[in-house]
Amino acid sequence: AMLAIRGGSLRLIPWISHSPISRNTPRAACSAVFWRQMSVVTAAGEVQGKNLTRRARPIVPKKVVVITKTTRYEDESMRISRKPFNQLTEAEVKVVDSVLARQGFNVAACRDSHEQQTTALKTIRDTLKRRGIDVEVVTSGERFTSMYSDEEQREGGSGSRYSESTFAEGSGGISMALLESGKAQHYDFCISAGGDGTFLRASLGITGTVPLIGINTDPTRSRGRLCTTTADGLERLLTKMEAGDFEWQKRHRVQVSLRSIGSDSKRGRILRHCALNEVFVGERDPCRASVLKVSCDGGKWDRHKCSGLIVATGTGSSAWIKEASTVTPQDCVDVLRGLVSLHGDDAVSRDIHKILTSPDGLDAGAVASETNMRLAEDRLAPEDHRLQMLVREPILPSGDISAGSCIWKGFDALHADIEEVESGHHPSRRSLVRRLVVSSVGSDAQLVLDGRVWVPLERGMEAVLETSEEH
């Protein structure tokens, strides 16, 4: 579900609400909430626009948990000193700063970012306390070099690349493991205090019906596209919530399930985590080529030798997959040079050659910018049920890209029907799908959810990626 704020700013404010989900229940379409300017809603409350569905009830919180992060400065200090950050002496801090400087870090900027996080966290706590709200603070424990597995979290382990620690205040203290086990249900809502990464980490971990609000603690350094507001704006946000000045709107996530190849089971084992942005499928070793078999929406199987596959939601279509699809000015020049060579001495070739060799030259930057603007039109809305797939750096045999092997007649490559490709089947690098099945014949493939949860994709197994209407 999504929210829109009445009389609010144009800034997008997301919030995720997790529904209770059993092991065998589809979980992909976890709700998310954005606050928008209330110009889309009439004074009488009539919704203007299909994405806003119903007016929300006022929320008067009594108990809140704040999920914060380990700052880069804290992480590096603990790495160097081998001690908890809050136990470092002044002399040890100087040693840490000296080591970081020798390693090429901008120590002043690193410390400033840490202090910004600390100050913002204090502002959040103080704001909640002034309103009589019981507050507990917990760190996600995520380190800058960390990642954890879905299976390890399912079994209650800490994960080989995941560390957990807790700060607490209020009634007894909590940890991320307890939040993930369902204790988050005891709170009116959760706040992620950090940037988009902190928000994604929190959204992966917390299950149940408790909402999650993102607060950007360092807006000068972080885009905070998934964040609701800044620490200074929390007071006004709470006032809006208590007045019920918002609307609900859906934001889907991608569900992943694993099953044996050839299994009759529709989904198999459903992972306990869902991805808000994207799922990456590829080799654990980035130097190895991934060899993947992919079927989209029940269609024929395509074999991709590449650097991996990105499958993004509507939310994630403006994140990693967007950057991976960006066309550069050099790309534009290379294509035009190919057209000149291909068309020989005809009118098209002469016109392009004239532009490329003119005194003013070609504004390749303008061409790339226009191309990327067209690509931006293909991004999905957050509530869209479809997924966007991108094959990274496909490796094609020379015969697959020879003259006449691919005659594309659709004007829009992303939306054109694959049957419009003549002279044989030519898999598309970018596609829109509702359901995707992928298996690997590589050496050590994995699925990575939102850059944080990794799951092995073993030979003989296939992963099903989809969204669901049920949550």
Per-residue pLDDT tens for 252-300? 888 899 999 987 777 788 888 888 899 999 999 989 999 999 999 999 9
Tally of CA atoms within 13 A in the half-sphere of 148 that contains its CB: 24
User: What is the CATH number assigned to the segment(s) 256-315+382-394+429-466?
Assistant: 2.60.200.30
Which of 28-37, 56-65, 137-146, 265-274 is predicted most confidently? 56-65
Write down the pLDDT at residue 468.
Answer: 62
3-state secondary structure 30-47: CEEEEECEHHHECCCCCE
Write down the pLDDT at residue 87.
Answer: 93
Rounded Cα–Cα distance for residues 195 and 218 (Å): 7
Rounded Cα–Cα distance for residues 431 and 296 (Å): 9
Task: Report helix angle 72-81 to 90-102, nearest 10.
Answer: 100
Write down the pLDDT at residue 345.
Answer: 73
pLDDT in tens, 3-25: 333 333 323 334 443 333 333 33
Give the three-class secondary structure for 383: coil
Average pLDDT over all residues of the chain: 76
The answer, yes or no, to whether residue 108 has pLDDT greater than 50, is yes
Alpha-carbon separation of residue 124 from 65, 84, 215, 276, 384 (angstroms): 11, 24, 9, 25, 33
Rounded Cα–Cα distance for residues 450 and 431 (Å): 20
Q: Which residues contact 297 (CB under 8 A, 6 or more apart)?
A: 433, 434, 435, 436
Where do the CATH 2.60.200.30 domains begin and end in the chain?
Answer: 256-315+382-394+429-466
Phi/psi for 203 (5° steps) reads -65, -30
Say which residue, 353 or 391, is predicted with more confidence. 391
Write down the pLDDT at residue 142.
Answer: 57
Structure tokens at 144: 């800058």
Task: Report helix angle 107-130 to 234-243, nearest 10.
Answer: 30
- Cβ contact 118:428 at 8 Å: no
Quick one: what percent of the chain has pLDDT higher than 70? 69
Write down the pLDDT at residue 409.
Answer: 58
Pairs from 164-169 (Cβ < 8 Å, separation ≥ 24): 165/70, 165/84, 165/139, 165/141, 166/138, 166/139, 166/141, 167/68, 167/137, 167/138, 167/139, 168/136, 168/137, 168/138, 169/125, 169/135, 169/136, 169/137
Rounded Cα–Cα distance for residues 190 and 61 (Å): 10
Q: Alpha helix (H) ranges present in 131-274?
A: 150-154, 176-180, 196-205, 234-243
- Cβ contact 252:290 at 8 Å: no
Structure tokens at 228: 């609701």
Alpha-carbon separation of residue 455 from 13, 157, 208 (angstroms): 30, 14, 22
Model confidence pTM above 0.85: no
- Cβ contact 34:251 at 8 Å: yes
Output the CA torsion sign for 292, 296, 257, 391.
positive
- Which of 64, 68, 184 minimizes the C-alpha distance to 129? 64
The answer, yes or no, to whether residue 466 has pLDDT greater than 90, is yes
Look at 140-154, 260-274, 386-400 and tell me which has the smallest mean pLDDT: 140-154
Write down the pLDDT at residue 160.
Answer: 28
